């Protein structure tokens, strides 16, 4: 175990690994626990680089060579006997990792930072990288450089032969961070989100609330647009009184936008987290008696009393904590209690029905998070955090999250008694769907999307500024 001098804490090593001698460089950035033995660190390096682990390896650190136990002898120490923190203790230090003693792929490993572990993260984790690993056994650095030239030139006499040997789909520029982190999963042996670690009963913790507040602007795809879509779907006139309930209001942005758009509406905003309720109460204070913030437990039925006679119930990114049967029960209970003009709108993750759809949801979510991080902050830091904590459910499924198929949920809503049910918006596995009790909206109902978007922007303004 690596110990800091002050508090015996396990420390995390952030390392940058670069293949020596290649331009443009092939590199990865990883974080691993300092107490990782070098033989296991070798497996991490194989996985993040994309090597196949068919050949032997060496670490050369401060003049000492380490390698597999089976080859250990007077000049080669067993890599299983030492940890990373025992052989490298300073930020900025470098050492060499060689893979495939014939092809002699030399990697420079630089210890960039030594830092305390982040809450909820299971290590090792890959933070970033660029370019594909060279094909296994392609001969080494010069042969690989030559191979790239041959790949690029269809007229080269060896072009066909090389394509056949190494595969026509090899893309030297390709690097998929999500795929690398999925491949690291067996090495971690545990899930990487804080919520379901060990065997403790899954629950949303105050730490999760803090984490969500930090990353939501980036982690929720098109958050502003989703909020505006939910408001546009409400079948009410902006000056019409109606009563709304929000289930799992988080920081209260949506409730804020709703009260801003609909000047006679009242809302009860429910959340299980004290931190979230505090934020919401502060945000909604300006609306006086039109807003109430109450605690609730999603898994108890008590809170359904608030839905009695309400005209609108909505929920964003909360109901996926319920399993199929619990969702069906909730839909029936809500339909029974809502007023005849009532509407139930859900924004949430949905379960893909094909692995291909899962891949699409995962990739689209990553792209959205990366683009939002860059657009909002000019940096990838929040995206890296999003990837690091495994927030993308479609890459890192977690038993705490139980999204259900969209089609089934629409069927359950219909069976519960909603006259009109549909999915109204869908992006990166996030859908907005729900049911209306009445067949047709009131002729005077509804607000424009532009109005809704303005209110969403007003509500979210503070977060934008904070980021």
Ligand X SMILES: C[S@@+](CC[C@H](N)C(=O)[O-])C[C@H]1O[C@@H](n2cnc3c(N)ncnc32)[C@H](O)[C@@H]1O
Among 3, 104, 285, 297, binds ligand X (CB under 6 A): 297
| Choice between 71 and 297, CB closer to ligand X | 297
Asked if 250 interacts with ligand X (CB under 6 A), we say yes
The one among 2, 11, 44, 317 contacting ligand X by CB under 6 A: 317
Other beta carbons within 10 Å of 57: 24
- Six-digit token string for 443: 């002729």
Q: For the CB of residue 299, give the shortest distance to ligand X in the complex, in Å.
A: 6
CA atoms within 13 A of residue 347's CA, in its CB half-sphere: 25
Considering only the stretches 49-57, 66-74, 146-154, 291-299, report the one whose residues sit in contact with ligand X under the rule CB under 6 A: 291-299
SS3 288: helix
Query: Least Å distance between CB 214 and ligand X?
Result: 12
| Per CB under 6 A, 409 contacts ligand X | no
What is the C-alpha to C-alpha distance for residues 339 and 307, in angstroms, rounded to an integer? 9
The reply on whether position 259 binds ligand X by CB under 6 A is: no
348 lies in the site for ligand X, by CB under 6 A: no
Nearer to ligand X, 237 or 329 (CB): 329
Which CB atom, from 3 or from 297, has the smaller least distance to ligand X?
A: 297
Among 15, 19, 276, 447, binds ligand X (CB under 6 A): 276
Q: Minimum distance from CB of 212 to ligand X (Å)?
A: 5
DSSP annotation of 132 reads P
Q: How far apart are the first and last CA of the chain?
A: 36
Torsion of CA 192, 322, 355, 423, to 10 degrees: -130
Q: Considering the complex, state which of residue 31 and residue 279 has its C-beta at the smaller distance from ligand X.
A: 279
Rg (CA), the chain: 27
Query: Cβ closer to ligand X: 272 or 352?
Result: 272
Which span (2-10, 35-43, 174-182, 297-305) binds ligand X, by CB under 6 A? 297-305
| Closest approach of ligand X to the CB of residue 250, in Å | 3
Burial call 96-125: b when 16+ CB within 10 Å, e when fewer: ebbbbeebebbbbbbbbebeeeeebbbbbb
Handedness of CA 40, 42, 47, 53 (dihedral sign): negative
| Binding test (CB under 6 A) with ligand X, winner from 41, 151, 212, 400 | 212
Q: How far is the CB of 466 from ligand X (least distance, A)?
A: 15
CA pair distance 58, 53, nearest whole angstrom:
12
**Are 37 and 82 in contact, with CB atoms under 8 Å apart?**
yes
Q: Rule CB under 6 A: is residue 99 a binding residue for ligand X?
A: no
Distance CA 76, CA 268 (A): 68
Q: Is 456 one of the binding residues for ligand X (CB under 6 A)?
A: no
Q: Which of residues 63-82 bind ligand X (CB under 6 A)?
A: none
Q: Does 204 bind ligand X (CB under 6 A)?
A: yes
Query: Collapsing DSSP states into helix, strand and coil, what is residue 107?
Result: strand
Judged by CB under 6 A, the stretch of 24-32, 265-273, 350-358, 406-414 that binds ligand X is 265-273
> What distance in Å separates the CA atoms of residue 215 and residue 224, rounded to the nearest whole number?
14
Stretch that binds ligand X, among 134-142, 269-277, 397-405, 450-458 (CB under 6 A): 269-277
Q: Considering the rule CB under 6 A, would residue 273 count as an interface residue with ligand X?
A: yes
| Token digits of residue 43 | 């497996």
Q: Does 316 bind ligand X (CB under 6 A)?
A: yes
Note whether 11 and 34 are within 8 A (CB). yes
Task: Give least dist CB 215 to ligand X, A.
Answer: 10
Choice between 126 and 276, CB closer to ligand X: 276
Binding of ligand X by 30 (CB under 6 A) = no
* Residues 125/192, Cβ–Cβ less than 8 Å: yes
Q: Is 296 in the site for ligand X (CB under 6 A)?
A: yes
Cβ 30 vs Cβ 125: under 8 Å:
yes
CA distance 65 to 168: 37
Confirm or reject binding of residue 195 to ligand X (CB under 6 A): no
Residue number with CB closer to ligand X (242 or 400): 400
**Angstrom distance (rounded) from CA 266 to CA 436:** 19
Residue 271 lies near ligand X (rule: CB under 6 A): yes
Pairwise CA distance, residues 158 & 206, whole Å: 60
Rounded to the nearest whole angstrom, what is the least distance from the CB of residue 259 to ligand X in the complex? Answer: 15
The secondary structure of 291-324, three-state, reads: EEEEECCCCCCHHHHHHCCCCEEEEECCHHHCCH
Nearest in space to 247 (alpha carbons), one of 164, 321, 178, 143: 321
Q: Which of 216, 245, 284, 307 binds ligand X (CB under 6 A)?
A: 216
- Report the residue number, 299 or 407, with the smaller CB distance to ligand X: 299
Cβ closest to ligand X, residue 95 vs residue 204: 204
* Residue 392 contacts ligand X per CB under 6 A: no
Question: Contact positions toward ligand X, by CB under 6 A?
Answer: 204, 209, 212, 216, 248-250, 271-273, 276, 296-299, 316-318, 321
């Amino acid at each position: 175990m690596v110990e800091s001098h002050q508090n015996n804490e396990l420390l995390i090593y952030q390392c940058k690994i670069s293949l020596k001698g290649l331009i443009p460089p092939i590199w990865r950035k990883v974080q691993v626990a300092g107490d990782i033995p070098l033989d296991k660190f070798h497996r991490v390096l194989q996985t993040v680089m994309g090597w196949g682990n068919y050949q032997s390896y060496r670490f050369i650190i401060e003049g000492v060579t380490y390698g597999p136990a089976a080859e250990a002898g007077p000049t080669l120490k067993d890599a299983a006997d030492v940890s990373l923190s025992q052989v490298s203790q300073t930020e900025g230090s470098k050492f060499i990792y060689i893979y495939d003693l014939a092809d002699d792929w030399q990697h420079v490993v630089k210890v960039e930072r030594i830092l305390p572990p982040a809450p909820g993260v299971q290590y090792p984790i890959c933070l970033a990288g660029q370019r594909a690993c060279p094909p296994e056994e392609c001969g080494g650095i010069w042969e690989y450089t030559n191979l790239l030239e041959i790949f690029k030139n269809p007229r080269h006499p060896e072009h066909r032969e090389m394509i056949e040997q190494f595969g026509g789909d090899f893309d030297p520029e390709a690097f998929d961070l999500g795929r690398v982190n999925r491949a690291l999963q067996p090495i971690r042996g545990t899930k990487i989100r804080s919520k379901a670690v060990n065997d403790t009963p899954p629950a949303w913790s105050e730490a999760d609330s803090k984490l969500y507040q930090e990353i939501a602007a980036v982690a929720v795809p098109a958050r502003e647009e989703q909020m505006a879509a939910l408001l546009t779907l409400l079948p009410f006139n902006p000056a019409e009184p109606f009563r709304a309930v929000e289930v799992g209001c988080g920081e209260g942005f949506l409730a804020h936008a709703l009260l801003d758009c609909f000047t006679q509406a009242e809302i009860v905003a429910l959340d299980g987290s004290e931190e979230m309720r505090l934020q919401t109460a502060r945000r909604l204070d300006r609306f006086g008696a039109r807003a109430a913030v109450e605690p609730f437990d999603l898994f108890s039925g008590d809170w359904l009393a608030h839905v009695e006679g309400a005209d609108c119930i909505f929920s964003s990114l909360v109901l996926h904590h319920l399993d199929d049967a619990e969702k069906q029960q909730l839909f029936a209970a809500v339909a029974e209690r809502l007023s005849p003009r009532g509407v139930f709108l859900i924004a949430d993750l949905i379960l893909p029905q094909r692995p291909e759809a899962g891949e699409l949801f995962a990739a689209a979510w990553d792209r959205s998070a990366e683009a939002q991080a860059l657009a909002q902050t000019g940096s990838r830091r929040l995206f890296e955090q999003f990837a690091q904590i495994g927030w993308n459910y479609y890459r890192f499924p977690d038993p705490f999250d139980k999204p259900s198929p969209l089609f089934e949920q629409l069927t359950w809503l219909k069976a519960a008694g909603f006259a009109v049910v549909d999915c109204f918006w869908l992006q990166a596995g996030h859908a907005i769907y729900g049911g209306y009790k009445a067949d047709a909206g009131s002729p005077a109902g509804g607000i424009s999307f532009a109005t809704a978007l303005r209110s969403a922007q007003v509500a979210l303004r503070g977060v934008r500024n904070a980021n």
